[in-house]
Structures are given as C-alpha cells and as structure tokens.
C-alpha cells in the first residue's frame, strides 16, 4: 500500500514489511515502485499514526 | 488638596475623560516625574513608604510584594506586570467603576508599577463580561501610545513598555493570581502551588507581579502628591482611600471612595441610605462573597483591615452585601455555595467534591428536605475546607459565609428542618 | 542528610526529597494518590496530609501535604495525629461521594490503590446520600477500557500521558466534580505508551481491555518474573497466567531498565502464546500432511541430526540456552547466524565497538541522564520504544538545571515545567523520515540514508580532526555546527544509532562518539546501538564472524551440508525467498523447532514444538549487553518443550548457563543472573501463586474429580503452587508485587531501597560486556555507491511498533493496531507514478539482495 508522507525526501522510499508476504531480506538498496493492477487491501493504513500524512487536495 | 484621588475624574453620566482632559487634571504627572529622574528603586521606596496595601482582597503590602522581584543582570530579562481585572467576587463592582470611569488612571498606575519592577510587557486580564471596560480601555491605551506614554523609550527614560489586553473566557478561579497566569498561558485555570511565587516564576516562568486594578489606581496619587499626603488621607492604621460598595436592599446601593477607618455605620446608614422602608438589617458580608457575616452589633467597627479581622471577618474587597430580615439567610448562603461549587476548578479533592455536596444540601434545605445529619455535614465542611487543607483559597473563602451563617443564623437552619420548608417564601 | 522527627522517632532523610517520598522510603504507611515516583508531586488529591509542628512546644500543628513539603532538616511531623487521620479519612469520604459501588465487578479490585488507601484511611461509612455524578465513557481503542464513573480525579492519567509520555490526545476537561479525562473525540489512543494508563490509574477508570476478554483477579493469576521479548531493551515484566492461558502482562520494576513503564508492544504483545495454531506436537511432514511422532521416533531423528554434515541456524529471538544447545550439538564451526547477512555484518561492527573502552552502553536510566542527544538514522520510538520514553525525560534535564538555579525542588513537577517552558536539553535527529520524537527535538534533519551517514561523519570530524571527513553538501553546515557545539558542551552526551538500515550509520555514530572521547580527554562516551530483537546480542556472541546465514544457505544448496536444524526462526524473513527455497529443497533433512507455524516450518521435514517465553526459564541479553533471567510462568502445553531440551541432555537451565559461561567467551559471567544460593527462608520455594489463589481443585474437576498431583518445578527456585515463602529479601524472584495493606502495584515501594531507587537486593540483570581497551580507530567514511537514478528509489526500512516484531505481530490486540505493508513516498515521487494515498503498489527490487 502506498502512504504519501510530506516528511520524506524525494528519492527515498520507506518500506514497512508488516506481517505480510514481503520479506525485508528480498530487498536492499534500490527499488522501483509502480501502481498495481489489482487494488485489494486487507488492513489498509488507517492505523498508521504519523504527523506528516500528506493530505491530498480533492480535485473534483 | 485632593481627597478623592481614585474617583476625581469619574462622572458616570458622561464618558470617561480623554487623555487631554485627564492630563489637565494632574494626569500622567507621575510618569513625567519618573522621566525627570526617579529610578525604579526610588519609586519602590515611595510605594513602600506609603504603606499601600493590595486592594484585591488579600491586603498584602504592595511595595513589599514588588521587592521580591529579582533585579540586576542575573535576573531574567523579561519580566511581566499582570493586571488582575477579573473582578468576579460576588458583590464586587469597584474595579468596574474605576475602569469604566477613568481608564487612564489605571494605565498610569500600570506604567509606574511596570517601571519599578522593570517589566517591559503588561497584560490586562479583563473579565470578559466587562464589555464596556474593554472598549474604554482599548481606547485609552491607543491614546496613551499616541502620546508616547506607552511604547519604546517612554518620555526618554529608556524604558520600553507595551500593554496587551486579554479578555477572559470567564471563570471565577481566574481571579486567583496563579490560576490567572495559567489561563493567560492558554492552560487550564488551575492555581499553582506557592512557592515558587510569581515573582520568581510567574507568567511563562518569568518574574511577574499581579496587581489588582484598584491597587494600581492608588499609585499615581502617591507619586504625584507624595507620601505625606497619602498618609494624611485616612486616620487609622491603614492608609489611603478605598472604594467601598454596598449592595442589597438598601435605599441607595452604590460605590463610593472613602478614607479607610470610617465606621461601618457611616457607610451603610449614611452613603447607602440605610435599609429600605419596612426592612431591618440582619447581617452583612463586609468584603464580598468570601467574607464572614457581621451583625448589626458590629456597625460601629471601622472599615479597617485589622479591626474587622478582630471580629472574625475580613475587609477584603470592601464591597458589602447586605442581608435584610425578610430575605432567607439559608437561601443567601445557599446561593453563594452554589456559586462556589460551580466555580471550583476541580483540582483538589475537598473543594471539588466537598462544595458540590454542600450545594446539594442547601438545595435539599430549600426543598424542605433538610436534616440534622446534613446540618452536621455542613458544620464538618467548614473545618474540612479550611485554609491549608485545599490547594487555593477558593474553598476556604466559601467557608466564611458558610461557617458564620451557620453560627449566626442557626435558628433559620433549624426552622428549615423542623418546618420542612423555607418560611421566607411568599 | 537531614534529620526529621516522625511521630516522635528521629529519622535520617534526604533533604532534596519531599516528606511523602521519605516516609514511603522508610516503609511508613502514608496514603497518597496524585504523587507518582516518576512524575513527582502536584498536591492535588490532599490525601497525604500530615501534621507539622513548628517546634517542640507547638502542640497544635498545621496540616501540610507531605508530597509538597520538603524533608527539611529539623522538621517535626506526625502521621498518626488524630487531626491528620481524620482529615485523610474525610478526603476519602469526598472521593467516595460519586464513586460507584463497582468493586465486585470492577477489574481493578484486588490490586486497586483506591481500595488500599480507603482501608488505610479508616473511612468506612457512607454519609453521602445525594445523587452521584456520572459520565459517559469513550471508546479509546483495543488496549484500554474507559469507565469514568470510577474516577477520583487524581490527574495521574493526563500527567503521565501528556507530560511524561508526550501524548496529545488525552486531556482534562470540564471543572468541579465534572472533571473528565478523555479524548477530544472517541478513537484509538495514539501514544505508544497508552497501556501504562492501566497501571498509573489508581482505580478502575483505565483498565486492560485485552485482559477484559478473559479476565481474572490478580490473586488468581500465576506469575513469575519475566522479560519482555518484543525488542532488545528487555523490559522486566510479570505475565499472569490462569487456566493455561496467559492473561496479561504488567510492569515489573527494574531500576536500570524499564522503571515503572512498559510500551504497548510489550504489554499487549504476548497473546501469541495463546494462539490456537501453536505448534504443540512433534510432527513429521510426509507428502504435505503432518504425522505425529512418538518419543522414540523423535529421539531417532535427533540422533540422525547429530551426525556429520549437520548445520544449525540460531535465532535472535531464542534464549541463550537454546542457541547454545544447538551450537553445542552441531559444533561451533557449524553454528550459523539467524539474522540477515546485512544484520550479521552490522553486528560484527557492534561487537567490536562493545569491547572498546572509549564507549559506554547506557542503560535506560542512564539515557534519561543525557543532556545532549544525537539520533542518527534510527526510529527509536518504533525500534526500542521504551528508550524513546526515556529520551523524552532526558530532554528535561535543562529544566532540572533551571529549577536547581531557582531553588525549586525537582519533585515539584508543575513548577519545574512552568519555569522551563519549552526550554529543553538538545535532542537532534538526523534520519530519513519524520518520527514520533520530533516534537521534543531541537533540530530535525530529514535526508537520504547516505547523507545521514555523511552528516554523521562530518559531525565527528568537526569534533575531532582525527575523524575522517565525508562529502556533505553545505546546506547542512549550520545545523552540523550547532550539533557539534551542543555535544561538546554537554556533560553527558549520548549518540544513538541502530542497525535497521545497515552498518554505515553505526560507523558514523561510533566516529562521533570516539571524537567526543578524544575531545573530552578520555571519559567513556554513551553510545547506544540498537538492535531489533530480544536476544540479537546473545546469539551474536555465540556466532562465529565467519558464519553468516548466507554461508549456511549456500552450503545447503551446494550439498556441503546435508541437514539443517533451524532454531525458532523464519528464514524467509532473513534471506531472499529464492535462496531459502533453494537451500531447504536441496537439504536432505530439515528440522525446525518453533512455537508458531511459519513459512519455514511449512518447509520442514520435522517440526518440534518449542515453548514460548513464558513457558520456560531463559536468559536473554539486551542491547546494552545486560543479561537478564526470565522465569517460567506456567507449564507448557502438551508436548512443547524448551528448544534446548529437544537438542541436548541437560537437566536444568542452570547447567546450560554454566556451560555458556565456560564455553562462550562473551558470556563468562552469565551465571551471575541466577538467583543466589540460599536467600530463601528454611529452604522453601518461592510460590508463583498468591496466598489467595483459588480454584486449584475445581479447575480440573470437570475432567477428573480427583485432586491433581501438585506439579513440581524441579528447574528453579519457584513452585507452581501457593506454598512457599514469597521472596522478601531477594527481589530478583519477585514477580507480582504485593505487601500487607498494599495490594496494588504501588506496593513496589516496600521493596525498594528508596522510592524510584534500586530494589533491595534486586538483580537488575548483569552487564556482561567487559571493555578491554580503546585501541579502536575511526571508521573510514564509506562512499555510498548506491544512488538512485531517474525512476529508482533508495529504500529505507521503516519499523513499526505494531507489526515489525515477528511474535508480537501474531497477538490479537497488536493485530488490531497493525497496518498493511506499505511503501512511504514523498508527494513528488507519488505523483510521478500516478499514485494516490492508499493505492496498492508493486515494488520490485533492483540489484542482488
């Protein structure tokens, strides 16, 4: 899931692996990120408590 | 010779004097005297020498209070003067008269006080309900800035002074000086423990003096006319003049400036015109809602802090609430207890949980459900809520009318119990 | 020292403390509510009133609040004075006016400080017959219940939550007897330390919600002194069990580590022990189904694995004993690290630094004493939460200095805070993302990883020119100068880093500390290096530097090793899927011991059930190098055994501890954590159950009416019964705190030398690491060759207090707070990829992991 935060420098990606199928050992250094075809989630990121959660402007 | 320094400019049938008219009547002379060469220490000596006591209710010597503010290079640079204009003591309306009637007098007093303690900033903590005072004061402050009495380098003294007006959102406890400071800082209006005193750690942790409006209004006279003049105003132990007020069922309730030391009778039967026709004096609270009842037999006692203390009460604010013989004393005390219970900030246990119990008992008495058991509980609370047992003086203040009411109007309480009703109700 | 007289008896006291602190330290029973040893005095409740006399002639005295009165030399006070006693009783009467008659159904009952103080006051008759004030309760999340009718308005909750822990979403509202403590609106309490409310609240307003699901009275719980296994701090806990399931965890006081508080991960993250999918029987995988194994079959397997060609993979979440047993079985040269290779590399750096006398690894208590802190790269709140709480206290050292100058006593908490306002000791954070400590940080720099490390090196170089420089843009020159000055001027500077993103940052941090060491003329500098798991340090001390996990997997893949024993570890979290798959497929036999099913147990040939932390006695070594002993709380289920018991013949944990001491260089003093020889009275054991424990025979009566045989604990000095003598003298065997008249956690003051001090004859663990010399040199500033090009992003791992730790993430309350795996992006990067908040993305690794 994507979490857009104001307090991250461009060029950096923060990865939280959670208890899902992602293993931190599968990654190191550089990654590429792209939108997924399927958009199903289970828990979501609603429980995340961060002060720099980017509030997006709602474009009508 | 001026005998009414506090009210000489006041005429409530017209707006207060503007700064030009104020200056024409010896106004701001003290600031010019300072500019001519009075140091803060000089002013402090004058105020100490005058014997001026605080007019907010506690009666603490003002010069002594100021002397605790740390001085010199090692003390924090920023110091504050705070004006306690949160006049909420039941029965008190003297500060309102001063602010609505002659705002420049208070401002002049503020300049003197701030100069002495070297406070470059002052906050006026004004009771929010005093909407007229707010308008009038803001206008006066504007005029004072324009004339150079406020702002940078006042009259070339090198002293900078700014005044900020703050209107309170309204709670009685904000009249307690440390709760006032907390409220000003945007916190809950709980009082603070002392020590440390505001002179050491006050507004935002800086040395602060909190003075009452009337206290400040005494200062211009002292600096303009001198200590001898000031001490000549009154006869007894306490110096200067004071505003005295009377409310209740008297012929002419009001507020008058009188020298300290006059007999109470002169105030009640003279200036206030005595009881209304058909009513007798039953008792009175000499200094507002937090003072002990006094009785008709005390009328010849003088309006003097010590003399009144001798009979177990306090002069406090000097505004009297009069009880007549057709008004139920239980109801009067109950009304006060309801006020205090509601105004408790809720910090300490005895006040927070004790006053509401007392209030509920009075309501039961009103409804004819008073009992001996409850009467005993009222007595217990007088001791329980005494000084030192609570965090601040609100609850001990509440026990003043409660304790003295239980003592002097015992039969009325008993009658409520035995008759299961208030016999004063029509 | 000062001398005061209490009820006619002279005592020596510390004049810096207040009277309440001294009375409690002397063991006297003086009631209180609002004072807390970690939060000082405010004088709100008025419960601790004592009579103070001016001099010997003063017969009347004056009531003063002991918590607000200094223990000044010459003070004469009386606790037993009738006036003081009746006032204290009246205070309780006031508190009781609106207090509901909830005791029988209130969860606090049995460990309720209000109950204790009520009894102590003598008030026992309700005169109040008017209406009680009531409140509505709020939903505050899955951890904490809210029952406001019980509130006695002591203000402890908001003082802890806001003042102490920095939380912003719990406040005091309204006035007089309507004062309400709650959130501005219903919702999950945000602070990571919200669970402490249940222990800080003296009544049942805030109680443990997870515990409510399966509640039991305190006296009915079986407890033992334990250590939290959620992170590398190793807070001491007292888990409580009943009917075979672990019910709740409370704080166990340790003066050096956790003090009075835990984090929410530790408090609510134990429930995995009760999971229905616990591995409880030895199983052999045959054609994708599991076949139960009998004892002799298991023995046969173990024998097979003892042959040559077997390697063992240890675990940073398993105990020293289990790791050691595996190592002894396969041989040191065949024992491999159980964490990722990246972590292995950083651990070697850490172990080197650990022997250097230039540095000192500070305890949590020592961290609170730091007067200038630099955090390089690590998100302390999520990696080692308890340390974040300590850092919030360390920044108040400036306030304490100011208070001293103005002669305001340290314990007069509100006055100290008022004087200092926002003046804090410096805390600088240089990392890649905003953190929850930012609100107390004096400087905050957010940068990519490589720049974070480079800035670290720059700081080191500016402190001591002997430290190497690094390429760093001038944009940060000002803040670097500022941090350098702050660290140099500090009396006790502290550098914090961790290994969640490799070792370069650790090298930079070490350089800074070494530079300070040079600058300050050779006094050891506090260098706190964080590692993720409860026994990362322990396992690393047993592992050969040449044995990273990658080498083990390679050996299995190419056939050099035929069999592998995996100890309590999910290898798929440690190495790439491809490599682990290849290794496990290639191996002829795979034996895995664990508590819960994982991807690794799914690929094992034989799975042996291991006991969870509360089901065996164990030692762990925390980030400091402090070894701590955790006792068994309850019996393990079915056939689960401590891993070491499957792997070796030792009878007792003590035997293995002894062997560790003898055979592992870094663990030479491990035996010191074991309780002393004969501190116990008349040879009686220390009971795990209170003397009020009930239902012993009724518990199993539905299975068998016969009274079950008393389970024996042959392992330790504790017993699985009520019989024995609670340890009065040896606090290391002291779990749930209780003293006569003090049923709540406040009873801990009876076991301390002085309040907030050390436990009388307590074992706060044993610092194992001996520093030998300071011959270490500065690390070269690494040049980070990984720079992202156009579409690429540099990865930084983000830990979360809820979810990143493997075992606690399988506890239900923790799961209620977890998020999905997520990728955090800057707004620009998100926009480039047409990603919106909450979208699902795919991430692809580049380069070989």
pLDDT at C286: 80
Measure the CA–CA gap between C31 and C113, rounded to whole angstroms.
Answer: 9
Mean pLDDT confidence for C139-147:
97
Q: Do chains B and A touch (3 or more CB pairs under 8 A)?
A: no
Percent of chain A with pLDDT over 70: 90
pLDDT at B235: 78
Measure the CA–CA gap between A12 and C792, rounded to whole angstroms.
Answer: 9
pLDDT tens-digit map of C359-399: 999 999 999 999 999 999 999 999 999 999 999 999 999 99
**Total residue length of chain A:** 60
- Per the CB < 8 Å rule, is A17 touching C804? yes
Domain that holds residue B374: 329-419
Q: Can you list the domains of chain C with their CATH numbers? A: 2-96 (3.10.20.740), 283-339+537-673 (3.40.50.740), 357-532 (3.40.228.10)
Is residue B304 domain-shared with residue B403, that is, in the same domain? no
Q: Angle, to 10 degrees, between the axis of helix C577-586 and the axis of helix C549-557?
A: 50
Measure the CA–CA gap between C481 and C459, rounded to whole angstroms.
Answer: 8
Question: Nearest chain A Cα to C808, which residue?
Answer: A19
CATH of the domain at B260: 3.10.20.600
Asked whether the predicted pLDDT for residue A60 surpasses 50, the reply is: no
Mean pLDDT confidence for C530-555:
96
Is residue B193 domain-shared with residue B257, that is, in the same domain? no
B161 by DSSP, 3-state: which? Answer: strand
What is the DSSP track for C83-149? HHHHHHHHHHHHHHSS--S-GGG-TTTTS-HHHHHHHHHT-------SPPP--------SSB---GG
Binning pLDDT at 50, 70 and 90, where does residue C784 land? low
pLDDT tens-digit map of C5-24: 999 999 999 999 999 999 99
Q: Say if C810 is an interface residue toward chain A (CB within 8 Å).
A: yes
pLDDT tens-digit map of C92-117: 999 999 999 999 999 999 999 999 99
Q: Say if C67 is an interface residue toward chain B (CB within 8 Å).
A: no
pLDDT tens-digit map of B113-146: 999 999 999 999 999 999 999 999 999 999 999 9
Specify whether the CB–CB gap between C321 and C328 falls below 8 A: no
pLDDT at A59: 44
pLDDT tens-digit map of C289-298: 888 988 899 9
Binning pLDDT at 50, 70 and 90, where does residue A1 land? confident
pLDDT at A44: 81
C450: tokens are: 């490589």
**Residue contacts between B and C (CB atoms, under 8 Å):** 104
Is residue B128 domain-shared with residue B207, that is, in the same domain? yes
Query: Could you identify the residue written with the tokens 């008022």?
Result: C418
| Least trusted range by pLDDT, from B295-304, C251-260, C614-623, C820-829 | C820-829
Of the residues A7, A21, A33, the best mutation for testing chain C's interface (the one with the most C CB atoms within 10 Å of its CB) is: A33
Nearest to C798 among A4, A16, A35 (CB): A16
pLDDT at C677: 58
Alpha-carbon torsion, ordered C335, C341, C345, C348, to 10 deg: -20
Q: Would you say residue B154 lies in a domain? A: yes
Question: Nearest chain B Cα to C422, which residue?
Answer: B204
What are the residues facing B151 on neighbouring strands?
B161
Of the residues C181, C411, C418, the best mutation for testing chain B's interface (the one with the most B CB atoms within 10 Å of its CB) is: C418
pLDDT tens-digit map of C319-332: 999 999 999 999 99
Mean pLDDT confidence for C543-570:
95
B108 φ, ψ (degrees, to nearest 5): -60, -40
B334 by DSSP, 3-state: which? Answer: helix
DSSP symbol at C653: H
Domain boundary among B324, B354, B370: B324
pLDDT at C729: 60
Is residue B151 domain-shared with residue B262, that is, in the same domain? no
Specify whether the CB–CB gap between B356 and C132 falls below 8 A: no
What are the residues facing A31 on neighbouring strands?
C793, C845
Binning pLDDT at 50, 70 and 90, where does residue B95 land? very high
Is residue B135 domain-shared with residue B219, that is, in the same domain? yes
- Which distant-in-sequence residues (6+ apart) come within 8 Å of C101 by Cβ? none
Q: Which residue has the higher pLDDT, B121 or C700?
A: B121
**Mean pLDDT over all residues of chain C?**
93
Measure the CA–CA gap between B265 and B246, rounded to whole angstroms.
Answer: 12
Q: Say if A42 is an interface residue toward chain C (CB within 8 Å).
A: yes
pLDDT at C783: 67
C629: tokens are: 């002993």
Specify whether the CB–CB gap between C421 and B205 falls below 8 A: yes
What is the DSSP track for C348-413? HHHHHHHTBTTEE---HHHHTT-SEEEEES--HHHHSHHHHHHHHHHTTHHHHHHHHHTT--TTBH
Binning pLDDT at 50, 70 and 90, where does residue C507 land? very high
B340-377 b/e (C-beta count within 10 Å ≥ 16 → b):
bbebbbbbbbbbbbbbbbbbbbbebbbeeebeeebbeb
Is residue B178 domain-shared with residue B220, that is, in the same domain? yes
CB-based burial label for C123 (10 Å; 0-12, 13-18, 19+): buried
Q: Would you say residue B102 lies in a domain? A: yes
Pairing of strands C335-336, C310-313: parallel
| Least trusted range by pLDDT, from C467-481, C510-524, C767-781 | C767-781
Is residue B398 domain-shared with residue B378, that is, in the same domain? yes
Q: Would you say residue B426 lies in a domain? A: no
Q: Would you say residue B147 lies in a domain? A: yes
CATH of the domain at B224: 3.40.50.11540
- Per the CB < 8 Å rule, is C833 touching A51? no
Measure the CA–CA gap between C554 and B161, rounded to whole angstroms.
Answer: 78
Sheet holding C76-78, edge to edge: C9-13, C2-6, C76-78, C49-53, C62-65
CA B3 to chain centre: 22
Is residue B127 domain-shared with residue B264, that is, in the same domain? no
Q: Would you say residue B278 lies in a domain? A: yes
Pairing of strands B319-324, B162-167: unpaired
Q: Which residue has the higher pLDDT, A5 or A19?
A: A5
Is residue B228 domain-shared with residue B249, that is, in the same domain? no
Asked whether the predicted pLDDT for residue C800 surpasses 50, the reply is: yes
Domain boundary among B294, B324, B354: B324
Q: Would you say residue B424 lies in a domain? A: no
Chain B residues with a Cβ under 8 Å from any Cβ in chain C? 171, 188, 192-193, 195-196, 200-201, 204-205, 341-350, 352-357, 360-361, 364, 373, 377, 380, 384, 388-391
pLDDT at A58: 47
Domain total for chain B? Answer: 3
pLDDT tens-digit map of B193-216: 999 999 999 999 999 999 999 999
Domain boundary among B324, B342, B367: B324
| H helix and E strand count, chain A | 0, 3
Q: Would you say residue B5 lies in a domain? A: no
Measure the CA–CA gap between C616 and C632, rounded to whole angstroms.
Answer: 4
Enumerate residues 116 to 155 of chain C having a beta carbon within 8 A of any beta carbon in chain B: 127-128, 130-131, 133, 152-153, 155
Measure the CA–CA gap between C770 and C262, rounded to whole angstroms.
Answer: 28
pLDDT at C518: 92
Is residue B275 domain-shared with residue B313, that is, in the same domain? yes
Q: Say if C785 is an interface residue toward chain A (CB within 8 Å).
A: no
Enumerate residues 342 to 361 of chain C having a beta carbon within 8 A of any beta carbon in chain A: 342
Is residue B46 domain-shared with residue B99, that is, in the same domain? yes
Nearest to B388 among C62, C420, C421 (CB): C62
Question: Nearest chain B Cα to C181, which residue?
Answer: B346
Is residue B276 domain-shared with residue B312, that is, in the same domain? yes
C846 φ, ψ (degrees, to nearest 5): -120, 145
DSSP symbol at B296: G
Mean pLDDT confidence for C476-499:
96
Asked whether the predicted pLDDT for residue C730 surpasses 80, the reply is: no
Mean pLDDT confidence for C206-221:
95
């Amino acid at each position: 899931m994507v979490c857009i935060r104001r307090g991250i420098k461009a060029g950096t990606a923060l990865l939280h692996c959670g208890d899902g199928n992602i293993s931190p050992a599968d990654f190191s250094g550089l990654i590429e990120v792209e939108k997924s075809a399927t958009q199903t989630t289970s828990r979501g990121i609603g429980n995340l408590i961060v002060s720099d959660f980017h509030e997006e402007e709602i474009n009508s | 010779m001026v005998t009414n320094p506090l009210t000489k400019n006041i005429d409530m049938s017209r707006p207060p004097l503007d700064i030009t008219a104020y200056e024409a009547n010896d106004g701001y002379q003290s600031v010019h005297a300072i500019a001519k060469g009075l140091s803060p220490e000089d002013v402090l000596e004058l105020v100490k020498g005058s014997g001026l006591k605080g007019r907010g209710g506690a009666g603490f010597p003002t010069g002594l209070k100021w002397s605790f503010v740390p001085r010199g290079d090692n003390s924090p640079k920023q110091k504050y003067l705070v004006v306690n204009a949160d006049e909420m003591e039941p029965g008190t309306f003297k500060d309102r008269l001063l602010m609505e009637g002659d705002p420049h007098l208070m401002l002049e007093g503020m300049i003197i006080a701030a100069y002495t303690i070297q406070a470059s900033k002052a906050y006026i903590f004004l009771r929010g309900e005093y909407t007229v005072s707010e308008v009038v004061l803001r206008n006066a402050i504007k005029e004072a800035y324009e004339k150079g009495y406020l702002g940078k380098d006042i009259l070339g003294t090198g002293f900078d002074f700014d005044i900020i007006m703050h209107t309170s959102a309204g709670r009685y406890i904000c009249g307690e000086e440390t709760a006032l400071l907390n409220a000003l800082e945007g916190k809950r209006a709980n009082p603070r423990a002392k020590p440390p005193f505001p002179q050491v750690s006050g507004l935002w942790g800086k040395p602060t003096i909190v003075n009452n409006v009337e206290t400040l209004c005494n200062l211009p006279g002292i600096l303009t006319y001198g200590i001898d003049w000031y001490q000549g105003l009154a006869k007894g132990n306490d110096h200067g003049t004071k505003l005295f007020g009377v409310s209740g069922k008297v012929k002419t309730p009001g507020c008058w400036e009188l020298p300290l030391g006059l007999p109470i009778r002169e105030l009640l039967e003279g200036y206030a015109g005595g009881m209304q026709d058909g009513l007798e004096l039953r008792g009175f609270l000499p200094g507002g809602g937090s003072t002990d009842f006094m009785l008709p037999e005390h009328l010849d006692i003088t309006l003097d802090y010590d003399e009144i203390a001798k009979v177990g009460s306090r002069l406090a604010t000097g505004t009297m609430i009069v009880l007549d013989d057709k008004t139920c004393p239980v109801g009067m005390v109950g009304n006060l207890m309801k006020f205090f219970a509601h105004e408790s900030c809720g910090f300490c246990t005895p006040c927070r949980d004790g006053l509401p119990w007392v209030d509920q008992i009075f309501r039961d008495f009103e409804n004819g459900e008073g009992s001996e058991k409850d009467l005993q509980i009222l007595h217990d609370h007088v001791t329980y809520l005494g000084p030192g047992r609570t965090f601040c003086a609100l609850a001990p203040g509440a026990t003043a009318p409660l304790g003295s009411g239980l003592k002097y109007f015992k039969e009325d309480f008993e009658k409520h119990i035995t008759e299961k009703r208030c016999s004063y109700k029509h | 020292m000062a001398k005061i007289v209490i009820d006619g008896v002279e005592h020596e006291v510390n004049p810096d403390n207040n009277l309440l602190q001294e009375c409690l330290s002397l063991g006297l029973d003086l009631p209180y509510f609002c004072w807390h040893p970690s939060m000082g005095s405010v004088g709100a409740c008025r419960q601790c009133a004592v009579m103070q006399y001016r001099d010997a002639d003063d017969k009347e005295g004056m009531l003063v609040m002991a918590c607000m009165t200094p223990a000044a030399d010459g003070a004469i006070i009386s606790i037993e004075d009738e006036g003081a006693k009746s006032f204290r009783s009246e205070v309780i009467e006031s508190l009781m006016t609106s207090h509901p008659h909830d005791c029988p159904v209130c969860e606090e009952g049995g460990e309720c400080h209000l109950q204790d103080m009520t009894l102590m006051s003598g008030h026992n008759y309700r005169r109040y017959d008017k209406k009680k004030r009531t409140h509505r309760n709020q939903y505050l999340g899955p951890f904490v219940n809210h029952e406001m009718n019980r509130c006695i308005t002591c203000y402890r909750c908001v003082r802890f939550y806001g003042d102490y822990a920095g939380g912003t979403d719990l406040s005091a509202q309204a006035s007089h007897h309507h004062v309400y403590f709650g959130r501005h609106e219903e919702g999950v309490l945000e602070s990571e330390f919200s669970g402490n409310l249940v222990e800080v609240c003296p009544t049942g307003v805030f109680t443990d919600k997870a515990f409510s699901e399966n509640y039991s009275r305190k006296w009915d719980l079986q407890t033992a002194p334990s250590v939290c296994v959620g992170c590398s701090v190793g807070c001491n806990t007292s888990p409580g069990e009943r009917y075979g399931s672990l019910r709740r965890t409370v704080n166990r006081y340790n003066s050096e580590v956790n003090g009075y508080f835990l984090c929410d991960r530790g408090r609510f993250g134990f429930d995995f022990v009760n999971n229905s999918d616990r591995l409880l029987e030895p199983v052999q995988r045959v054609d994708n189904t599991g076949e139960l194994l009998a004892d002799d079959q298991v023995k046969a397997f173990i024998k097979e694995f003892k042959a040559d060609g077997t390697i063992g993979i240890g675990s940073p979440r398993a105990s020293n004993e289990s790791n050691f047993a595996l190592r002894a079985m396969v041989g040191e040269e065949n024992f491999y690290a159980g964490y990722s290779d990246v972590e292995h590399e950083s651990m070697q750096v850490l172990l080197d630094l650990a022997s250097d006398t230039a540095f000192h690894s500070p305890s949590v208590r020592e961290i609170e004493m730091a007067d200038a802190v630099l955090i390089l790269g690590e998100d302390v709140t999520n990696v080692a939460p308890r340390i974040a709480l300590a850092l919030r206290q360390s920044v108040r050292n400036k306030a304490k200095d100011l208070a001293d100058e103005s002669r305001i006593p340290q314990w007069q908490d509100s006055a100290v805070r008022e004087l200092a306002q926002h003046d804090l000791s410096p805390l600088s954070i240089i990392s890649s993302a905003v953190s929850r400590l930012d609100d107390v940080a004096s400087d905050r720099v957010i940068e990519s990883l490589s720049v974070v490390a480079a800035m670290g090196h720059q700081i080191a170089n500016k402190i001591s020119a002997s430290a190497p420089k690094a390429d760093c843009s001038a944009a940060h020159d000002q803040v670097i100068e500022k941090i350098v000055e702050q660290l140099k001027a500090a009396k006790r500077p502290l550098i914090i880093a961790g290994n969640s993103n490799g070792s370069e940052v650790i090298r930079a941090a070490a350089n800074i500390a070494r530079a300070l060491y040079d600058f300050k003329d050779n006094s050891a500098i506090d260098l706190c290096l964080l590692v993720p798991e409860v026994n990362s340090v322990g396992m690393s001390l047993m592992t050969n530097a040449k044995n990273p996990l990658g080498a083990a997997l390679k050996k299995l893949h190419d056939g050099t090793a035929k069999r592998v024993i995996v100890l309590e570890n999910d290898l798929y979290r440690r190495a790439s899927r491809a490599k682990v798959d290849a290794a496990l497929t290639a191996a002829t036999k795979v034996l895995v011991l664990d508590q819960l099913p994982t991807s690794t147990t799914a690929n094992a040939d034989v799975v042996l059930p291991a006991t969870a932390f509360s089901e065996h006695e164990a030692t762990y070594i925390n980030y400091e190098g402090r070894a701590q002993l955790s006792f068994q709380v309850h019996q393990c289920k079915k056939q689960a055994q401590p891993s070491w018991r499957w792997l070796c013949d030792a009878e007792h944990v003590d035997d293995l501890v002894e062997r560790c001491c003898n055979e592992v260089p870094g663990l030479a003093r491990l035996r010191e954590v074991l309780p002393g020889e004969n501190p116990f009275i008349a040879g009686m054991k220390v009971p795990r159950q209170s003397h009020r424990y009930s239902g012993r025979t009724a518990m199993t009566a539905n299975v068998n009416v016969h009274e079950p045989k008393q389970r024996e604990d042959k392992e330790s000095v504790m017993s699985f019964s009520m019989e024995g003598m609670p340890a009065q003298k040896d606090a290391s065997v002291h779990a749930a705190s209780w003293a006569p008249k003090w049923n709540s956690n406040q009873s801990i003051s009876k076991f301390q030398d002085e309040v907030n001090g050390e436990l009388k004859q307590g074992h706060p663990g044993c610092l194992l690491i001996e520093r030998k010399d300071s011959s270490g040199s500065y690390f070269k500033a690494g040049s980070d060759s990984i720079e992202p090009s156009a579409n690429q992003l540099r990865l930084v791992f983000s830990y979360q207090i809820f979810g990143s730790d493997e075992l606690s993430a399988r506890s239900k309350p923790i799961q209620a707070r977890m998020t999905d795996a997520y990728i955090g992006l800057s707004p620009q990067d998100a926009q480039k990829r047409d990603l919106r908040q909450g979208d699902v993305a795919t991430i692809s690794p580049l380069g070989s992991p």
